[in-house]
Amino acid sequence: MGIKFNNFEEKKLAFAKATQEGTAEEQSVALNSMIEALAQDVQADIFNQVNESIIDRSIMQSRGSNVLTSEEMKFFNAVVQDGGFKDTETLPKTTQERIFDDLVQSHPLLQHIGLQNLGAVTEFIYGDPEGAAVWGPLFGDIQGQLNAAFRKENISQLKLTAFIPLANDMLKLGPVWIEQYVRTMISEAMAVGLERGFVAGTGKNEPIGLLKNPAGSVTDGVYPDKTSAGTLTFEPGRTTINELKDVVKLLAKKLNADGTDADRPKTIAGKVVMVTNPFDTFDIQANSTVQNAAGIYVTSLPFNPTPSESVFVPQGKVLFFVKGEYIAAMGGTEPIKKFDQTMALEDATLYIAKQYATGKPKDKYASQVYTLSLNIPGA
């Protein structure tokens, strides 16, 4: 069941702006405000569900309500009885799996990016399908050729932290509601962190975002922004066709193992995703909407890019990327720990949940950034 957020989305937008323009102190304040707003919205939603729900668990399950496994029930019963989490406890595996399901089902952009859940694994091997099988002499050495096609990625080097403010009143609701609250807090907080990292991460102690140039000159661990590949007007007709033709042609390029441009393009049909800032989305839709002969308004773009949004894409920019060309993975967790430093909350205990994760483009052609120059008809 989806949550109706009252203040969280507004605070999330403020956090995104702070990460783009603000100082470290302003970013910390914005993060605190976002976490508090998320906690308040989730608590209010759960209290409403408690007041409206029928307690019989079989009826609740038939209506899609939250029902725990025996392991989950035992774990969250202990949380209630102990008045909070112990520093040595990790969430049940089934709860971690549900958090991942919540992440990708509720956040289409993470689906499009291709976020993988590796469970307890903290490294994985990926490769170019075209180089995974090679021809050669019957008794020739093929090991070197295969090694060139596969690469290993370690994901334990980067940690994503989610804050969980657990109000004293929440403990009175019982294990079912505590689990739902904790799961929602972690999934929503991590969704913001993952989205920010995968879109705008600098590469320094965080992912290399799609807005960054993985082949650029790195300064103190920070990758440079991708240079704008051109200007898009989305003017109706032939103009937009030509503009997006150049976009897909650039995205279709691929590199050889030695870093040079390959002679032939990669297949990207049906794999192109267009990510816009929410403030720009409707302007682009206005330019790409026409009225057909039946009087029905139809919105479409040539080459059928999949539309998506992110507050971490700067206003006035458009991000394009190819599905499957970005490495995004989660794997391994740390025990939930009490957080007794800053950001203390009244009548609540603050905990942190850490998740290993990583992300980076496979090469410089995995994504491209364009500048918007919109002339809205009739505006």
Residue 268 structure tokens:
């990207």
Q: What angle do CA 224, 356, 153 make, to 5 degrees?
A: 65
* CATH 3.30.2320 matches 231-327+364-372: yes
Confidence of residue 165 (pLDDT cuts 50, 70, 90): confident
Q: Are 281 and 223 in contact (CB under 8 A)?
A: no
Q: Are 337 and 352 in contact (CB under 8 A)?
A: yes
Mean pLDDT over residues 206-222, rounded?
Answer: 94
| Beta strands 272-276; 306-309: pairing state | parallel
Mean pLDDT over residues 47-59, rounded?
Answer: 62
pLDDT, position 85 = 87
Residue 316: enclosing H or E segment and its boundaries? none
Please tell me the distance from the alpha carbon of residue 224 to that of residue 125, in angstroms, as a whole number.
Answer: 26
Please tell me the distance from the alpha carbon of residue 189 to that of residue 179, in angstroms, as a whole number.
Answer: 15
The tokens 């082949």 sit on which residue? 215
Percent of the chain at pLDDT exceeding 70: 82
Please tell me the distance from the alpha carbon of residue 267 to that of residue 254, in angstroms, as a whole number.
Answer: 10
| Amino acid (1-letter code) at residue 148 | A
pLDDT of residue 326 exceeding 90: yes
Q: How many residues can be counted in the chain?
A: 379
Q: What is the pLDDT of residues 169-197, one digit of tens each?
A: 888 888 888 888 888 899 999 999 999 99
Nearest CA among 234, 256, 246 for reference residue 131 = 256
| Count of other CB atoms within 10 angstroms of residue 300 | 8
Please tell me the distance from the alpha carbon of residue 271 to that of residue 362, in angstroms, as a whole number.
Answer: 15
Mean pLDDT for all residues in the chain: 83
From residue 191, alpha-carbon distances to 98, 164, 176 in Å are 13, 14, 22
| Count of other CB atoms within 10 angstroms of residue 36 | 18
Mean pLDDT over residues 278-283, rounded?
Answer: 92
Most confident range, picked from 3-12, 216-225, 296-305: 216-225
pLDDT, position 321 = 97
Mean pLDDT over residues 129-157, rounded?
Answer: 55
pLDDT, position 298 = 83
Q: What angle do CA 261, 317, 327 make, to 5 degrees?
A: 50
CB neighbour list of residue 143: distance below 8 Å, 6 or more residues apart:
none
Domain ranges of the chain: 8-210+331-360, 231-327+364-372
Q: What is the dihedral of CA 79, 81, 86, 89, to 10 degrees?
A: -50
Mean pLDDT over residues 239-253, rounded?
Answer: 94
| Amino acid (1-letter code) at residue 223 | Y
| Beta strands 348-361; 337-338: pairing state | antiparallel
Contacts for 141-149: CB closer than 8 Å, 24+ residues apart: 148/257
From residue 369, alpha-carbon distances to 208, 251, 276, 318, 372 in Å are 15, 11, 10, 6, 10
From residue 325, alpha-carbon distances to 254, 274, 291 in Å are 10, 14, 35
Cα radius of gyration (the chain):
23
CB neighbour list of residue 182: distance below 8 Å, 6 or more residues apart:
76, 91, 95, 164, 166
Please tell me the distance from the alpha carbon of residue 76 to that of residue 92, in angstroms, as a whole number.
Answer: 10
Please tell me the distance from the alpha carbon of residue 333 to that of residue 165, in angstroms, as a whole number.
Answer: 19
Mean pLDDT over residues 343-353, rounded?
Answer: 72
* DSSP per-residue string spanning 233-290: ---TTHHHHHHHHHHHHHHT--B-TTSSBPSSPPP-TTTEEEEE-HHHHHHHHHHTEE
